[in-house]
Amino acid sequence: MSADAPDWFHEIDHTGDIGIQVTAPTLPELFERAAAGMFRVLTDPDMVQSSAPETITVDGRDHEALLVQWLSELNYRHTVDTVLYGAFAVEAIDETEAGLSLTATVRGEPIDPDRHTVYTEIKAITFHGLDVHRTDDGWAVQVIFDM
């Protein structure tokens, strides 16, 4: 992990897995920072260049399910398309009949072994210990990754 982690990001120890805690002033920014935090676990974010934008839309019944769907989609694309993401812009989190829907634009690049070190592999984003909640300063989340 990069030594210069932002103050909104904290890695936490969890038996056999890795967790992160993230804070943000708004819910969309919380989802952006959770994605950035996940990729901090995977690689040095300073080495990832942003390329052409990709649009992602995911749905979830509540904030926790939406976050798991969001991070799972990013992890799936990372794994299948061998790409690293470095820029995340959540345009909307809307209420739907089924719960919530998130629309975002992400930017990244294909993994280049000469420039990127991938520290680990995330098998899954879990609901274990997952907690998305309001704070006096905005929003916070704790999420555990199954390694």
Question: Residue 11 has what pLDDT?
Answer: 86
For residues 64-73, give the mean pLDDT. 98
80 SS3 class: helix
Given a cut of 60, whether residue 47 has pLDDT beyond it is yes
What distance lies between CA 143 and its chain's CA centroid?
Answer: 9
DSSP-assigned beta bridge partners for residue 60: 100
Confidence of residue 15 (pLDDT cuts 50, 70, 90): low
Q: Is 138 left (phi over 0), alpha (psi -120 to 50) or beta?
A: left
DSSP class of residue 30 equals H
Given a cut of 90, whether residue 52 has pLDDT beyond it is no
DSSP class of residue 45 equals G
| Closest by Cα among 49, 43, 7, 37 to 125 | 37
The pTM assigned to this predicted structure is: 0.93
Q: Which amino acid is at 55?
A: T
- State pLDDT tens for residues 98-132: 999 999 999 999 999 999 999 999 999 999 989 99
* Structural domains of the chain, with CATH: 15-146 (3.55.10.10)
Given a cut of 80, whether residue 31 has pLDDT beyond it is yes
Mean pLDDT (the chain, rounded): 94
